[in-house]
Amino acid sequence: RYGHDAGAEVSHISLQVDQGRWHFSGDVDGGRLDAWGKGSKGELTLNEVPADACFKLVDLEGASGVLSGHLGWSGQGVDEWIASGTGKWQSADGRGQPGTISLNMRIGSSGRELRLRTRHWPVHGWHGHLSSVGMVHVSKAWLDTAIEYREDHGTWHLQGGEGGLRDVRGSVGGEPEQRPFRFESLSWTSCELDDRGRLALAGLEIVGGEVSLPVAAAQSQETSYTMRLFASDVSIRDMVLHWHQGQRVLSLPLLEGTLDIEPHMMGFDLASRDDVQPQWRVQGRWAFNPAMQVRSFQTDILGKGLPLQEMIPVLSAGMPGLKELPLSMSGFLDIRWQLAWDGEHLSVTGEVGLQDFKARHGSAQWRAEHIKAHFRIHDHQRHVGTMEVHGWHYLVPLVPMRVAMPNSDAPDEHPWLELIRAGSWSIDSLRLEDGSIAVGEEEDIWARDLLLRLQGLKPGKPARMELTGRLGEGDLTASFEVQPYRQPLQWYGVLHVRSALPFLLRRWLKASGMPVLLRGRWWLEVRVVTTEQNGYSLSGRFQLLRPLWMSGERQEHDPMLARTGLSSEELLLWLDHVSKKDGFRWGREGLWEKDPLSWWGILSTALNQVREANSGNAARPVKAAERIVQTALLRLHDQSGLSHNERLRVFKVIRRVRANKGWFLDLQPEIASRSLDASAMLRIRRTQRLVEDYAAKHGLDRSRIFPVWPVGTKDGPEVGAIRVQAVAPPSGS
């Protein structure tokens, strides 16, 4: 037995010596070894000797297969020897490309010389003899090279021409997180290595493969020989880079670019091929200690068109709670990040752009055309400088009153609040513009042209929020001081809705068992101020003028009877009556911890106080008939504006209304029921808006203009029309 740990065995040994000539032979694990010589000359042949047995002889793990070859030597004088030989490696099953090796060697008193040429030669397991790169473990590789080695009086130098490694497999890093790597090929035009540990590779090119960064720390290794690698303008092609962050992995496919390597330093500039989507670019410099641990790094990452769903595991590393959000999200990311680590602290700065973003939470959906944010993360501090959201739309489920009211005391919460709280985010400026809100169905737009601004959000500090837009074609404004880090969410401020139309409530009223409003304008003010002991004081004011509803659709179970003591129709008449004076006012006080506010809770409070206001024996209001004083009939319009003749006829009616305080302008559709389809509805509303805009332009306040929701009649006109009506109050009012 011979070799490391006596792992190889020679049997059937024969040794013959005759007149100074000797011959040795034997079987080596199924192969054959023969050696003979005389004097200072000799030869050695191997015939299909197991390769691992030979490699064990020099303490290498080796590759399975068989070796065959020939080595001859002779003495040249007293202190000089020369040797030459060739070898061949073949896989055990005889498949695949064989490996070849040839060498010429001279050993003398002044030094040593070696010329070595290999082709597809296995160099598996050599990392055990390269303690200077202790974090790199090569488990498989094939070497093509031609090198010359010279040693003279204790110094040595190795140089070579074109060469390379192919099908390289291994791992890098310390336990327990060694990360695998592979390369299809590493090739160079020349190489040099000397006794001072300087390894220089020129024309290095790396093609194909996968690398993982960053690597785990390894125990520092004491070594008297440290290899220092120099390689500039290294060409990289078709590389896959895996970026690890805990259990999360970000893969950047098919990169190409350049790499510069100096002792304990690496710089790189890699980008995706043009034909690959999504697009990546990674630039940076990494510093290593003598044990090849990452000491510090700076890396710039640029990505375009990245699928959001694939990026969520990576984003969650800097956004605690993201993966746990009860949301399904999609979209495409553009990122520009700068990462820096000094050995102790990690900081990430940059910007994120998100296109075609969609999120679903239960039956609620939120989407945005474009989101852009500038941020900074330093250790556990997370900060957004500016965040802008464009073209957003929020679809919320339609919740009938009978479903919502039993839970009206539940505070208003949203998954985004959980994300902000989990990461302790601070936000300097958040701007959401060109937004809309739909309820139940996409086409049921309740609010549009929304602009929401939030400023100064910090843990433990109130933030300023402002909202403007159109709600039910009326003006919506809100100004709040919000405290998202308090649970439940606390807010103070005022909300105004001015001169809105009731059409947005059609489906909700019907689903809630109440009559559908066909006409009216309403105003709302909700004001919340802070009180002592973390409390609040709520006050509200509501006005509804000239409500008109569809008759004959009274529901069997009217929800208003139980809540207010009035039927829905009686409630509408009462609201119209009090709105002509100062409107309906209500209020409430409470503590946030015990009695949190919600919008359903505000409605519940208002209805309870309607009951109180009508608990006496006061007479119920009676609807009085108004008088139509003057009319003008208009055709329905598609895209064109009002004609000159139409403007003249409409202006006569407008002038009459404008001159009489307390008069109104009604825009009454007339159309046959069989003709009232979606297209006709659009033309009716478009024509009503044309008249409304024309009347407002000529000095009539929009609060006195009342479009009527179209309801077809059996004997209405086939093509439809709008009757513009000057309406006077009932006689004697």
Token readout for 377 is: 């993360």
Architecture label for domain 627-728:
2-Layer Sandwich (3.30)
Count CB-CB contacts under 10 A for residue 6: 9
The three-point CA angle 233-237-242 to 5° equals: 105
Contact 708, 548 (CB under 8 A): yes
- Residue 480 CA to residue 503 CA, distance in Å, equals 27
Give the pLDDT means over successive 10-residue stretches in the chain (733 positions).
Answer: 58 86 88 90 91 67 81 85 92 84 89 92 65 63 92 88 91 67 93 88 92 58 60 91 74 89 89 90 87 82 93 84 85 95 90 96 93 92 96 94 75 79 92 96 94 94 96 96 90 97 93 92 96 92 94 71 89 93 93 89 92 76 85 92 94 96 95 90 94 96 96 84 94 65
Q: Which residue reads 């825009």 in tokens?
A: 667
Q: Where are the domains of the chain?
A: 1-9+21-99, 399-434+444-613, 627-728
Read off the pTM: 0.81
Tokens of 199: 């390894």
pLDDT given at position 123: 82
| Torsion angle defined by CA atoms of residues 420, 422, 423 and 428, in that order, rounded to the nearest 10 degrees | 20
pLDDT at 217: 45
Helices 644-658 and 678-697 pack at an angle, to 10 degrees, of 60
Give the per-residue pLDDT at 221: 45
**At 206, which helix (H) or strand (E)?**
strand 205-213
Task: Supply the Cα-derived Rg of the chain in whole angstroms.
Answer: 42
Residue bearing tokens 């094939």: 142
Distance in angstroms between the alpha carbons of the first and the last residue of the chain: 123
Give pLDDT, residue 183: 92
The confidence score (pLDDT) of residue 224 equals 43
Q: Is 307 helix (H, G, I), strand (E, B) or coil?
A: strand
What's the pLDDT score for residue 8? 64
Cα separation of 234 and 257, whole Å? 8
DSSP letters for 246-264: TTEEEEEEEEEEEEEEETT
